[in-house]
Amino acid sequence: MPADREIIDAALEKARELGADVAGAVPAGRLVDCPSAVAEGACGSPADRGTYIVLGLSHGPEHPELDLWEEGRGTPGDRILAGIGRNLARWLSECYGISARVVPYQVEDGGIYLKDAACIAGIGRMGRNNLVIVPRYGPRVRFRAVWVDLDHPAEGLPGPALPCAGCEGYCTRACPMGAFETGLYSRERCLARMNADKAAGKERIDHCRACELACPTRD
């Protein structure tokens, strides 16, 4: 039986083969008190053992349909990621007898802080627009995770250089909701338009992507 680290490395390669554009791994225990959890006074991971395989899928501007949200179904992009996660979990079970499961998207449903997980896994760094800036893809990446019953070494993983150094702040200036007016990101203002669309009963709602599409980081 290969060592846990070898299986994790194989799983990351398999994730990309299954369709993920980026993938990384982070010990579950590292997310229990991750920055977002501390800020919200919550627990950042329902598990304190095992490893999360973080999956990322590029949502380029040429595919706006990936971000169309529907009640009870989420977005097409998230469904693709969940499918990749299920296939990866099945592969781990069939090839190695390893227990694995797709993690719910929402933290309140048992999920994790995916942006924190992506940063700690070394996939990218948090940008000024409160999105993960990923090399080659910029902030145009969505994430999902799979928990696997494997131990991952808890060493600090190096991330790419600070992504927004020297930038003129195109993202914050592009926001139509004033989510950065105080100098800090306001989740309430960011989601105001989408929440209004939901309250109006719209069946398909497009996420506002002004800040991420204004980011000069390109593929």
User: Digits of tens for pLDDT over the chain (219 positions)?
Assistant: 899 999 999 999 999 999 999 999 999 999 999 999 999 999 999 999 999 999 999 999 999 999 999 988 999 999 999 999 999 999 999 999 999 999 999 999 999 999 999 999 999 999 999 999 999 999 999 999 999 999 987 665 555 567 888 899 999 999 999 999 988 889 899 988 888 878 877 888 888 899 999 998 764
Angle CA(47)–CA(21)–CA(68) in degrees, nearest 5?
A: 85
Query: How many domains are there within the chain?
Result: 1
Whether 17 is in a domain gets the answer yes
Domain boundaries, position 105: 4-154
Pairing state between β 68-70 and 51-58: unpaired
Whether 37 is in a domain gets the answer yes
Question: Are 144 and 85 contacting, i.e. CB atoms less than 8 angstroms apart?
Answer: yes
Whether 100 is in a domain gets the answer yes
Whether 142 is in a domain gets the answer yes
Which string of DSSP letters, residue by residue, matches 29-59? GGGTT-HHHHHHTS-S-S-SSSEEEEEEEE-
Whether 196 is in a domain gets the answer no
Whether 50 is in a domain gets the answer yes
pTM: 0.93
Question: Are 111 and 103 contacting, i.e. CB atoms less than 8 angstroms apart?
Answer: yes
Whether 82 is in a domain gets the answer yes
Whether 214 is in a domain gets the answer no
Q: At 38, phi and psi to the nearest 5?
A: -60, -45
